[in-house]
Amino acid sequence: MGFAPVLAPALIVRTQRLAALPPVQAVLVTSGNAIPALPARLRRLKLLAVGDATAARARAEGFADVASAGRDAAALAALAARLLDPTAGPLLLAAGQGQGAELAASLRGARFRVLRRVAYAALPAHTLPQAACRALARRAVGQALFFSPASARAAVRLLRGFPTEAITALAISPATAAALSPLKWAGIRVASSPDQEALLALLPRSATPGGHAP
């Protein structure tokens, strides 16, 4: 697309290996970050992923029977209701620390037994990479992409003191956009659906010379 991307992780992911699990009929994951924590023996089971990128990561890790909800947690719950049987055994919901409670409640409301387990913790980064700091200080950043409310909140803390008034913030969801409100932006735009493809569609058709997108 003509951009020079600058990676600026706002969260540091720490995988947490899952303890011994009872038999389950299927695995649900709300993020690709949960997949490295899944024991190898679970690869023979059906895995339901929140979106296409998470589904692709699961397949790359050896899961053969993978289905994607294509959107969000509500769509994942609906997919489980269509494909799985509440009487066939519990579901493993592998999620981030502090995440997945609403999804678990929705599944239990559909009569599923749910084992919600913490597969990873996403911790706020203490600093931005030097390349990102230099690009921000030079006012070389035109667009900034934010992929979750948690990363947006962490990024707001990291970006304080940098000139953001000329940067257009691109948010993957309305909740992500709301988390960006403490800073001044040239504008905040929200993707039409909560996925990477829709987020990238917000970028201009071509970058201006030297344009960056952390």
Q: Is the pLDDT of residue 153 over 50?
A: yes
**Residues 110 and 59 grouped into a single domain:** yes
Q: What average pLDDT does the chain have?
A: 92
pLDDT given for residue 70 in this prediction: 86
Query: What is the tens place of the pLDDT at every residue in 8-31?
Result: 999 999 999 887 889 999 999 999
**Residues 20 and 67 grouped into a single domain:** yes
Q: What is the CATH number of the domain that holds 105?
A: 3.40.50.10090
3-class state of residue 116 by DSSP: strand
Question: Stretch 171-190: mean pLDDT, rounded?
Answer: 96
Number of separate domains in the chain = 2
Task: Kindly state whether residue 106 falls inside one of the protein's structural domains.
Answer: yes
Question: Stretch 193-198: mean pLDDT, rounded?
Answer: 87
Domain of 147?
A: 125-213
Indicate the pLDDT class of residue 158, thresholds 50, 70 and 90.
very high
Burial 47-67 (b: 16+ CB within 10 A, else e): bbbbbeebbebbbeeebeebb
Task: Kindly state whether residue 6 falls inside one of the protein's structural domains.
Answer: no
pTM: predicted TM-score of the whole model, two decimal places: 0.75
**Residues 133 and 113 grouped into a single domain:** no
